[in-house]
Structure 1
């Protein structure tokens, strides 16, 4: 039991949702993710999804990463809520969105978000996705292109091997997945929480499996973001940008995976400018500008 707890704690660190950069994170004390005044549940696609909405204006959907929740965007919510209707949800089997089923996939979670937009009668939205949330944002734009007006993703990957993920991180995650699976076999009656955490770790280890050519289906302008020392390899982030027809690429120097947290002011400004300004095709003589 103790061994499993250690493994799952390391897994949550790998999710890079901000707890690692301060002893007392603002994510621990913020009202976001537990705001009784605005928090709601909706029953859709077999589970109760928890969501919160802030601000007014053009809709913006913000998607958290593996093992995260709404509160991961403590720096983005107040910034973007000044000009947008900001919609955030705890993804299936994470945060307050409890889901006891054995299986989970990125496709399921992106379809959940599509269903949430339908429930809220939102025709389309600007979308921000971090880490696993970036994967879900890409899938939302692939499978429901009419729902995504513009897309910004940071720290997303298309497949789960060492060509996409930093080799040290990949080896670490796979080793943790093996240990967690072996340990679970020894537990006679694992709790629902233990099963859920192992399910999320398995997702992180073996998915997604998106082919580069499928990104051609994305028609909306897309800002592809990564840290130059991200857990996602820079060359993989570049491949994602190159495969999307209307894309910009932004690699932050001196940065790891937590771009919306560590560089929140710069992140918010650049993403905001991307959403506000028309996409500009840069080609031929325009490359000299």
Structure 2
């Protein structure tokens, strides 16, 4: 919901060298479907090299990475996934959870015959990246998560967002959604209102090095982001100056360079406590 409502206006890019822009998220030349765990998942692939899985936020799609894919496709095999119930990945079920999304990612990597991958997740995608690394330690080489939270309340989310979610829940909880799209939108909304529920103590089990990122004006409380960082055995922290929740769109060049430097670093010392 936060990505859908606050950030979608940032997603239109300029023409390059007089050529039409690549239709990320709707690119038949790069798009694929895989039926996994009862859902027809859509994903696009670009470039060659070490695999890099991109995970978007709530209400978004792989289209959100149009300023990310061109940079990383020069060095990585980029896999941009539409999460179930998002974009072109249709999910007719009534329930949705971050654990389901993480299990989908593991199944996709197995389907692609990839033992492991680098993972970059934004917002809900950052939550999914953390859960993927917790549930499937061998699947994640390193992860970068920007704008992620571990539980859904005012201790993790800024007041304006939490109040917005509460209003949305009160408006929708008594409605009967017969239209499939509205029913899906309500399911996706409930994902952020009800979830996730990851205790900080669980992060001590995370084996993959992690890069924890947030804007200094993010919708995630800065103290929550710092708590996530401090709870991880091996982590970097970057509070992006002059940025809101859309760190990778508001500062794409610096964001891409910093994340790439983290992925390419040969060693990662434990953070200072």
TM-score, structure 2 normalization: 0.93
SS at match of 2:173: helix
* Structure 2 CA distance for aligned equivalents of residues 109 and 13 of structure 1: 17
* Structure 1 CA distance for aligned equivalents of residues 148 and 30 of structure 2: 29
* Structure 2 CA distance for aligned equivalents of residues 277 and 135 of structure 1: 23
The alpha-carbon distance between structure 1 residues 13 and 243, as it changes in their structure 2 partners (threshold 3 A), is closer
Report how far residue 21 of structure 1 moved: 4.0
Contact 2:49–2:77 (Cα < 8 Å) also in 1: yes
Greater Rg over alpha carbons, structure? 1
Number of matched pairs: 267
Q: Which residue number corresponds to residue 26 of structure 1?
A: 13
Contact 2:43–2:82 (Cα < 8 Å) also in 1: yes
TM-score, structure 1 normalization: 0.88
Contact 2:3–2:57 (Cα < 8 Å) also in 1: no
* Structure 2 CA distance for aligned equivalents of residues 34 and 228 of structure 1: 32
2:241 to 253, 271, 287: 253
Residues 41-93 of structure 1, C-alpha deviations (whole Å, 9 max, x = no match): 11110110001111000111110001110110001101000000001110000
Q: Are 1:273 and 2:266 matched, yes or no?
A: no
The alpha-carbon distance between structure 1 residues 15 and 257, as it changes in their structure 2 partners (threshold 3 A), is same
Contact 2:3–2:60 (Cα < 8 Å) also in 1: no
Residues 203-233 of structure 1, C-alpha deviations (whole Å, 9 max, x = no match): 1101000000111111111100001110000
Structure 2 portions without partners, runs of 5+: 15-20
Contact 1:181–1:198 (Cα < 8 Å) also in 2: no
Report how far residue 30 of structure 1 moved: 4.2
* Structure 2 CA distance for aligned equivalents of residues 13 and 150 of structure 1: 24
> After the TM superposition, which residues 7-156 of structure 1 pair with which residues of structure 2 at under 5 Å, given as runs?
11=1, 16=6, 18-21=7-10, 25-26=12-13, 30-156=22-148
* Structure 1 CA distance for aligned equivalents of residues 96 and 214 of structure 2: 25
Question: Greater helix share, 1 or 2?
Answer: 1
Residues 133-171 of structure 1, C-alpha deviations (whole Å, 9 max, x = no match): 000000000000100001100000000000000012101
Contact 1:15–1:66 (Cα < 8 Å) also in 2: no
Contact 1:15–1:65 (Cα < 8 Å) also in 2: no
SS at match of 2:113: coil
Report how far residue 12 of structure 1 moved: 6.2
* Structure 2 CA distance for aligned equivalents of residues 13 and 208 of structure 1: 16
Q: Which residue number corresponds to residue 195 of structure 1?
A: 183
Structure 1 portions without partners, runs of 5+: 1-10
* Structure 2 CA distance for aligned equivalents of residues 180 and 253 of structure 1: 36
| Structure 1 stretch displaced more, 193-202 or 29-38 | 29-38
Report how far residue 26 of structure 1 moved: 2.9
Structure 1 vs Structure 2 CA RMSD? 1.8
* Structure 2 CA distance for aligned equivalents of residues 241 and 199 of structure 1: 29
| Structure 1 stretch displaced more, 111-120 or 166-175 | 166-175
Report how far residue 195 of structure 1 moved: 0.2
SS at match of 1:26: coil
